[in-house]
């Protein structure tokens, strides 16, 4: 089966610009997660979708971040306007409804650099 | 809140040798899962091994094994017979049971020397 796919793999934007990251989960996976790793720090949870609904968005840093998952398939994460501290690697992961202790399937991440 | 600590930002090992990556965690929960993930450069992060907290027996996957010390809240990863393909960033992670959110450490970059 195809894995979790993230686009783009790298993005360099100027402060104040807008960037949209995309994640295509494994087909049939209801759960979709976004995580972020700021350089040198731990990977931190951003939010969790179950199908098209936001189950938990407690990790979203501020209202400059907007995540959507229309139709319960792929998801986008938009940063508008981008700030320098938004730089990092954004990971997407997906899992089946009842993962029961299994790990997620992660994508390769999008490396975002804000200059 | 749960925290995961990896105190070794970088490690290196000679090919065919054994290396141990450290991980400690903090939690007040009794039931949870622990994981080691591996991310090769510019590639997908993949699951290496997982451990259920209620199991006393340490998990093993081929050349990868863990030393799970629940009382000490320690979860180290041992890689035996290291291969060049083992070079990657390794992340230790915690997840409650039940739960969906993972808590990760800061990662350990492993270099394998030919």
Q: How would residue A5 be classed by pLDDT, with cut points 50, 70 and 90? A: very high
A4, A48, A103: residue with CB nearest B35: A103
Average pLDDT score over chain B: 94
C-alpha–C-alpha distance, residues B33 and B42, integer Å: 26
Residue B90 in this model has a pLDDT that exceeds 80: yes
Is-contact A99 A82, C-beta < 8 A? no
Mean pLDDT of B14-32: 96
Distant-in-sequence contacts of A97-100, Cβ < 8 A, 24+ apart: A97/A30, A97/A31, A97/A50, A99/A31, A99/B100
Put simply, whether A107 touches B (Cβ < 8 Å) is yes
Read off the DSSP letter of residue B85: G
Residue B30 in this model has a pLDDT that exceeds 70: yes
pLDDT value of residue A82: 96
Mean pLDDT of A10-18: 97
Q: How close A82 gets to chain B, by Cα (Å)?
A: 23
Put simply, whether B32 touches A (Cβ < 8 Å) is no
Residue A48 in this model has a pLDDT that exceeds 60: yes
Is-contact B77 B69, C-beta < 8 A? no
pLDDT value of residue B3: 93
pLDDT value of residue A100: 55
For the stretch A71-110, pLDDT in tens is: 889 999 999 999 999 999 999 999 886 555 566 889 999 9
Residues with Cβ < 8 Å from A46, sequence gap 6 or more? A33, A34, A35, A36, A57, A59, A60, A61, A65, A67, A77, A90
């Amino acid at each position: 089966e195809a894995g979790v796919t993230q686009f783009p793999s790298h993005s360099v934007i100027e402060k104040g610009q807008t960037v949209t990251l995309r994640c295509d989960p494994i087909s049939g996976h209801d759960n979709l997660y976004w995580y972020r790793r700021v350089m040198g720090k731990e990977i931190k949870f951003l939010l969790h979708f179950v199908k098209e609904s936001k189950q938990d968005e407690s990790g979203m840093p501020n209202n400059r971040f907007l995540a959507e998952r229309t139709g319960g398939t792929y998801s986008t994460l938009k940063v508008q306007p981008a700030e320098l501290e938004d730089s990092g690697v954004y990971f997407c992961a997906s899992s089946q409804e009842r993962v029961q202790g299994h790990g997620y399937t992660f994508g390769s991440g999008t490396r975002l650099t804000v200059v | 809140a749960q925290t995961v600590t990896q105190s070794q930002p970088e490690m290196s090992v000679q090919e065919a040798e054994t290396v141990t990556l450290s991980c400690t965690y903090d939690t007040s929960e009794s039931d949870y899962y622990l994981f080691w993930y591996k991310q090769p450069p510019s590639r997908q992060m993949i699951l290496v091994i997982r451990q259920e907290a209620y199991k006393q027996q340490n998990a093993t996957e081929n050349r990868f094994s863990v030393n799970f010390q629940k009382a000490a809240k320690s979860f180290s990863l041992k890689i035996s017979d290291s291969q060049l393909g083992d070079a990657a960033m390794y992340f230790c992670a915690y997840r409650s049971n039940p739960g969906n959110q993972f808590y990760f450490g800061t990662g350990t970059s492993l270099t394998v020397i030919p």
